[in-house]
Structure 1
Amino acid sequence: MVNEERLRHLIKMAQFDTNDGKQCKPMTQYARKDYVSMRLLGSFVTGTICYGLLMGMWGLYATEELLAKLNKFDIQGLVMTAVVPYLVFMVIYLGATWVIFNMKYTEGRRKVKKYYNNLKKVNQMYEREERLRTSDHKDWD
């Protein structure tokens, strides 16, 4: 006979494994601080590369302006044109990364907790059935 309650829990667990299992795996392996720090490091690298590409495209567009600043030896103005926007961009980008991955970690931990609760319930059902089965066998002996 099929235990419908156990089957419901097993189906929920299978759905988690197929839908969210791989995404939530880091939430079980890392603490929040470590998980978010890893994501921030990756975002720092990608943000810097992205900003460099944007500056390269802007440099191609504004070649005349750049050459005029270099001819005037306005290196400070040139650096301020590149560094200040970079810092603003990175603060916004890393701030968004921090918020997003904190939310993802919280949601992932919630899903993992539900998964483990289902696992615990299924395990308790199996243990209860095993106790009943062994007590039935003892009565027959």
Structure 2
Amino acid sequence: MIDPKKVRLMTKLAVYEEGPGKKDLKINCYSKRTYVNIKQLESIIAVTVAYLLGLGLYCFGIYTDIISLGLKFPYQKYILHAMILYLIIIIIDFVCTRRYYTKVYDKMREDIKQYDYNLYRLARYIQKEEKDRA
């Protein structure tokens, strides 16, 4: 005979494994520190590429000034401003990324704890059934 409680529990586990559980179970392979550091590195690389592309577009915009002034163009001023802006963007990105992915990891851990608890309940349920059969 099929037990509805067992079916509900197994369905709940299967839905989690196929939905948000796929991502959560992958994240669970990492420690919190490692996961956040990997995501920060990815973010810094993406922001650096985006910044360099934006800087290149800006240089194309002032290209006529650079060519017309030649060596009289204030290169040091522009380079200094570009470096300061880059540092500000990287610091903001670092803080925001760290906060966001720490929250993502903490939420994942809560979901995994519930998943583990449901697995434990299912294992106990199966043991009880086997014990009753014997």
TM over 0.5: yes
Task: Check whether the contact 1:36–1:101 (CA below 8 A) recurs between aligned residues.
Answer: yes
Taking structure 2 as the reference length, the TM-score comes to 0.90
Taking structure 1 as the reference length, the TM-score comes to 0.86
1:29 aligned counterpart, secondary structure:
coil
Structure 1 residues not aligned, in runs of 5+: 135-141
Q: Give 1:9 shift.
A: 1.2
Q: Give 1:74 shift.
A: 3.0
1:138 matched residue in structure 2: none
1:69-113 Cα distance to aligned partner (Å, 9 max, x none): 762263321211210111111111222111111111111111111
Q: Distance in 1 between matches of 2:105 and 2:68?
A: 49
1:57 matched residue in structure 2: 57
Aligned residue pairs, count:
134
Measured on the aligned residues, the alpha-carbon RMSD in Å equals 1.7
1:71 matched residue in structure 2: 71
> Which is higher, the Rg of structure 1 or of structure 2?
1
Sequence identity percentage: 24
1:30 aligned counterpart, secondary structure:
coil
Task: Check whether the contact 1:26–1:35 (CA below 8 A) recurs between aligned residues.
Answer: no
Distance 1:69 1:111, change over 3 A: farther
1:26 matched residue in structure 2: 26
Q: Distance in 2 between matches of 1:32 and 1:69?
A: 52
